[in-house]
Chains A and B, each alone.
Chain A
Amino acid sequence: MATHDNDFLTGPVPEPEAEATSAERAYAKTFADVVDKTLSGRAPAAMSADDRALIEVATVIRAANGTMELAPSKQRSIIEDALRQAVGTGASTSGSVTPIARGRAKRWVPWTVAAMSTLVAAAAILLLWLRVPTTTVVQAPQAAAVPTSWTSRPADPLIGPIAREHAGDASSRIDYLFADRLDGFRERRLSGGKP
């Protein structure tokens, strides 16, 4: 079985009990050096695509084991920021830590909004409850336009002063009154009730 330096990923899979070849040992040693350099922040500028893929896998495996740590400078910055906020001096330089007071305020915002809404609702209820209903009188426009002859009214202008000799002549007066009101009634009916 012929092997090459860079055909590990695409070449045939060796037997489980097969002894590593010298080329494989040499390649393993070279790759171990590359991994060590990458983890210490000195990754080589150029490497093959296969090596880069393997390096990424190795980085992920290391991070999953929880052995990765922040850089000492970053660790110092975060601790100093937290201490500064605790004693109430200065603002955070890193921006990654939320101040305790602001956190508390954020917790009260929804409650404040809810309380204000409830107060507004209660005020609206009180306002509507106590409001005195206004009565609007709508003047019917046809009321003023109705002719006098169509209306029920005193008979004085029609009858006039009653002479003594006609004091008991109520029969003729009712005839006159009836005829007059009948005229108005018919006039109104024939015009459809509209002037």
Chain B
Amino acid sequence: MSIRNLAVPGLLAIAIAITGFVACSSEREASAPSQTRVADPSDVIDEQLMVSLAQAKNFHRKAKVYMSDGNLAAATASVRQILSLRFPAGAPEAEDVRLDARALLAKLLVSQGQVEEAMRTVQEGLAQSQRESFFVANLHTVQGEIHEARAAQLDGEGEPSKAKAIEERRAAIAAYDHSIQINEKLQKQLMEDR
């Protein structure tokens, strides 16, 4: 058989081999992990969330003991530790627990005369919140209390600070109104959901 006669079946064999190779490689690509994925189910309560909640609970208990003992500084430090707890990514409880810890922390700071630090704590919490909740509303309530505390301080400074005190009281009313608005909105939503 001459070379010319061998060329035809050879060419056919190469063509079939290339087709087969490509078909096989495409099947391999199809089974790659990027092709088919399972949708994430709703996040269920897992061990990590329970551990984080248990730690927050313990820090609150510790702070309560310190407060009953009159050690506000230690109580403040205990509550601060709640803010650095690690929760499962995306767990809605994390934001609620942190906002509630900030509310208590701000109140502890106000009781220790650290009004500006308390206001910073509240403002950071409001800035970090990603949804409206009763805990956000509560933080607005605490913000109103801080404004009231500021107004009381300004009252003590005499006549020159009277205008600023009035301004703080107006800010307190605005914060309380904001808190009421959020509460009403959420309550309405909950009623509709039921």
Instruction: Identify which of residues 25-64 in chain B touch chain A, using a CB-to-CB cut-off of 8 Å.
Output: 25-26, 29-30, 32, 34-46, 49-50, 53-54, 56-57, 60-61, 63-64
- A159 CA to B103 CA in the complex, in Å? 15
The interface stretch among A63-71, A77-85, A137-145 is A137-145
Quick one: CB contact mask for A99-126 with B, threshold 8 Å, 1 for yes?
0000000000011011001101100110
CB-CB under 8 A from B8, the residues of chain A are 110-111, 113-114
- Tell whether A44 is near chain B: CB-to-CB under 8 Å: no
Contact between A168 and B53, CB atoms less than 8 A apart: no
Tell me, rounded to whole Å, the shortest Cβ–Cβ distance linking A64 to chain B: 31
> By CB atoms of chain B within 10 A, which of A151, A156, A184 has the most?
A156
Known: A124-B22, A143-B39. A173 touches B100 (CB 8 A): yes
Contact between B39 and A139, CB atoms less than 8 A apart: yes
- A188 CA to B131 CA in the complex, in Å? 27
Interface of B is mostly: helix
Among A114, A156, A174, contact of B56 (Cβ-Cβ < 8 Å): A174
- Tell whether A10 is near chain B: CB-to-CB under 8 Å: no
CB-CB under 8 A from A146, the residues of chain B are 41-42, 44
Contact between B97 and A164, CB atoms less than 8 A apart: no
Interface size class of A (residues with CB under 8 A): 35 or more
Among A118, A124, A152, A188, contact of B88 (Cβ-Cβ < 8 Å): A152
Known: A155-B93, A156-B186, A161-B137. A114 touches B15 (CB 8 A): yes
Chain B residue at smallest Cβ distance from A138: B38
> By CB atoms of chain A within 10 A, which of B63, B104, B107 has the most?
B104
- A151 CA to B44 CA in the complex, in Å? 4
Known: A136-B36, A142-B41, A154-B96. A124 touches B134 (CB 8 A): no
Contact between A161 and B187, CB atoms less than 8 A apart: yes
Contact between B16 and A121, CB atoms less than 8 A apart: yes
CB-CB under 8 A from B64, the residues of chain A are 171
Besides the known contacts A118-B14, A133-B35, 16 further A-B residue pairs in the complex with CB atoms under 8 A apart: A117-B16, A125-B19, A133-B30, A134-B35, A135-B36, A135-B37, A140-B39, A146-B44, A159-B134, A162-B134, A167-B103, A167-B145, A171-B61, A174-B100, A175-B60, A177-B96
Complex A-B: 15 CB contacts under 8 Å: A117-B12, A121-B19, A137-B37, A143-B41, A146-B42, A155-B135, A161-B187, A168-B108, A173-B100, A174-B100, A177-B53, A178-B53, A181-B45, A185-B45, A185-B49
Contact surface of A with B, Cβ cutoff 8 Å: 110-111, 113-114, 117-118, 120-121, 124-125, 128-129, 131, 133-140, 142-143, 146, 150-157, 159-162, 164, 167-168, 170-171, 173-175, 177-178, 181-182, 184-185, 188, 193
Contact surface of B with A, Cβ cutoff 8 Å: 7-8, 11-12, 14-16, 18-19, 22-23, 25-26, 29-30, 32, 34-46, 49-50, 53-54, 56-57, 60-61, 63-64, 79, 88, 90-93, 96-97, 100-101, 103-104, 107-108, 131, 133-135, 137-138, 141-142, 145, 183, 186-187, 190, 193
